[in-house]
Amino acid sequence: MDVTTLLIILLVGALATYFSGDKWASKIALLFSLAAFGSAICLLSHFNAGIEISFFKLWITKPTVYLSFYADGITMAMLLLTTALTPIIIFSSFGNDYKNAKAYYSLILFMSFAMAGTFLATDGLLYYIFWELALIPIYFIALIWGNGYVEERKKAVVKFFIYTLAGSLFMLVAFIYLYQKTGTFLISQLLRVPLSETEQFWIFMAFFLAYAIKIPLIPFHTWQAKVYQKAPTAGTMLLSGIMLKMGLYSVIRWQLPLAPLAAKEYMYVFIGLGLAGVIYGSIVALRQNDLKKLLAYSSLAHVGLIAAGIYTLTLDGLRGAVLQMIAHGFVVVGLFYTAQIIHRRFQTRKIAEMGGIRTQSPIFTSLFLILVLASVALPLTFNFIGEFTVLYSLSQINIWFAVLGGTTIILGAYYMLRMFQHVMLGETNTKIFKDVTFNEGLTLVSIIAVLFFFGLYPKPIIDLITPSLENIIIEINRYK
């Protein structure tokens, strides 16, 4: 199977969904998203059989740009995450009524197409195009179908768009500089260019601005909470479950191999920024009364730890980070989906206005509790594997880094269990909370099954990503 088949399925699916009309849009979108996931599974089987997953063809002659796609182990992991979460996100929206549903669901598929292209592209300019394309659908999804007053929504979304676009321009400048030295944007050629320490520093910082905003890392996080709150739940799922992984993946794929001297020189600074995000996100989450904002700051804390693991420049750090990226993708989508279910019943996101759900819906309460425990890295869940590996890598650099990173577990357990008590226990809300429907239960059980399966047996993913990460480590260490 050609690697472009997956991209074609998602792009054609976006068009077919739009032209299918509002009545059939959700079902057509789900069908194509499942087809894309099936395509990713086929690519994985080819990859495991030793078949190279690639596509290479000249696209533009001046400047020289190639349609260059390649999938190694970590790319395959990100493709599987993207194509597995997309149908879950679409299916989770079935209980909502959307005006102009055909546009809504087609934008979700188009965003999935752009994110998959970002993971696959190995030509710098092609990668940049996909990177920016992913910004367009989420802008409209959040602006048109978001929550709250229109003016507040516009303000949050425009800030996000301008902020991320401006950061990405620095990355484009870095690519242009590298192109002038090599005559190509291909990463395989860019890695062979001898760069001075000064050149590497500026290239590293140009990429860092783009990635730190997208992830986000503090102090570049100011757009996150408002956009997560104002976007519709599917938009928040796309942002937190997949889109922020574009930034983390790109640090591993592009930033560290292209500028390893700068990464080593300033390693402690960037580990510190990641750990600062862990502490800051956890403390701010403690003060939130809006359920989606609490989950947004919780996500900020978790991705801060992932970033810290990446910047250790160790195999354990990179491996733990990728494992945690996948685990975080599933658990955060599950948590935001539970927030949507509660909002459907109570028509509020304020934690103080919830309560008493356990007595009315014990099944939903149990599913919600499992997701809460997974988010705080309970042993036997997938998140525990990732967080433990990252903390171990931090201890190899400095034991105090591991101690500070461990606060994400301690503080996370406190604010998540405190939130669970207020939302699920306590006095009964005056509104009736109906138990989960079949569709809602199926979505949550599917997510929980993934978290437990890979929590008990992470070997398939570890075996998939480790050879690629070993190659990344070799590239990082090529300068002596």
Summarize pLDDT for 51-71 with one digit per residue, the tens: 989 999 999 988 899 999 999
Residue 1, pLDDT above cutoff 70: no
Cα angle vertex 440, ends 436, 446, to 5°? 125
Percent of the chain past pLDDT 90, that is, above it, reads 66
For the residues 220-240, what does the mean pLDDT come to?
88
The closest of 420, 433, 436, 437 to 360, measured between CA atoms, is 433
The larger pLDDT score, comparing residue 136 to residue 431, is at: 136
Q: Which residue has the tokens 């939903």?
A: 364
Tokens linked to 222: 């100011």
Half-sphere exposure (Cβ direction) of 39: Cα atoms closer than 13 Å: 22
CA distance 280 to 312: 20
CA distance linking residue 139 with residue 373, whole number of Å:
32
How far is residue 314 CA from its own chain's centroid? 22
Mean pLDDT over residues 309-323, rounded? 95
At 94 the pLDDT is 87
pLDDT at 428: 64
Q: Which residues contact 436 (CB under 8 A, 6 or more apart)?
A: 341, 361, 363, 364, 367, 444
Q: Which of 186-190, 270-274, 360-364, 387-391 has the lowest mean pLDDT?
A: 360-364
pTM of this structure = 0.94
**333 pLDDT higher than 70:** yes
Q: Is the pLDDT of residue 480 over 70?
A: no
Using alpha carbons only, what angle is made at residue 8 by residues 3 and 14, rounded to the nearest 5 degrees?
Answer: 145
R_g of the chain, CA atoms, integer Å: 21
End-to-end Cα separation, the chain, in angstroms: 40
Per residue in 189-214, pLDDT tens?
999 988 899 999 999 999 999 999 99
Half-sphere exposure of 149 toward its Cβ, with a 13 Å CA cutoff? 3
- Judge whether 318 and 464 are in contact, CB under 8 Å: no
Question: Could you write out the three-class secondary structure of the chain?
Answer: CCCHHHHHHHHHHHHHHHHCCCCCHHHHHHHHHHHHHHHHHHHHHHHHCCCCEEEEEEEECCCCEEEEEEECHHHHHHHHHHHHHHHHHHHHCCCCCCCCHHHHHHHHHHHHHHHHHHHHECEHHHHHHHHHHCHHHHHHHHHHHCCCCHHHHHHHHHHHHHHHHHHHHHHHHHHHHHHHHHCCCEHHHHCCCCCCHHHHHHHHHHHHHHHHHHCCCCCCCCCHHHHHHHCCHHHHHHHHHHHHHHHHHHHHHHHHHHCHHHHHHCHHHHHHHHHHHHHHHHHHHHCCCEHHHHHHHHHHHHHHHHHHHHCCCCHHHHHHHHHHHHHHHHHHHHHHHHHHHHHHHHCCCEHHHCCCHHHHCHHHHHHHHHHHHHHCCCCCCHHHHHHHHHHHHHHHHCHHHHHHHCHHHHHHHHHHHHHHHHHHCCCCCCCCCCCCCHHHHHHHHHHHHHHHHHHHCCHHHHHHHHHHHHHHHHHHCCCC
Read off the tokens for 402. Answer: 């591991």
pLDDT in tens, 410-465: 888 889 999 998 888 877 666 778 888 888 999 999 999 999 999 999 999 999 99
- Read off the pLDDT band of 406 (50, 70, 90): confident
Comparing 118-122, 273-277, 347-351, 444-448, the range with the smallest average pLDDT is 347-351
pLDDT of 99 over the 70 cut: yes
Beta-bridge partner residues of 60: 65
C-alpha 410: how far from its chain's center? Answer: 23
Rounded Cα gap, residues 366 and 395, in angstroms: 35
Token pair for residue 239?
A: 């942002």
- Report, as an integer, the average pLDDT of 335-350: 89
CB 89 within 8 A of CB 446: no
Amino acid 478: pLDDT: 77
Confidence of residue 286 (pLDDT cuts 50, 70, 90): confident
Q: Which residue's structure tokens are 């260019």?
A: 193
Residue 314: band (very low, low, confident or very high) from pLDDT cuts 50, 70, 90: very high
Between 92 and 479, the higher pLDDT residue: 92
List 66's β-bridge partners, or say none: 58
Distance CA 447, CA 107 (A): 23
Region 85-106: what's the mean pLDDT? 90
Instruction: Give mean pLDDT, residues 207-224.
Output: 90
- In this predicted structure, the answer to whether residue 253 has a pLDDT above a threshold of 70 is yes
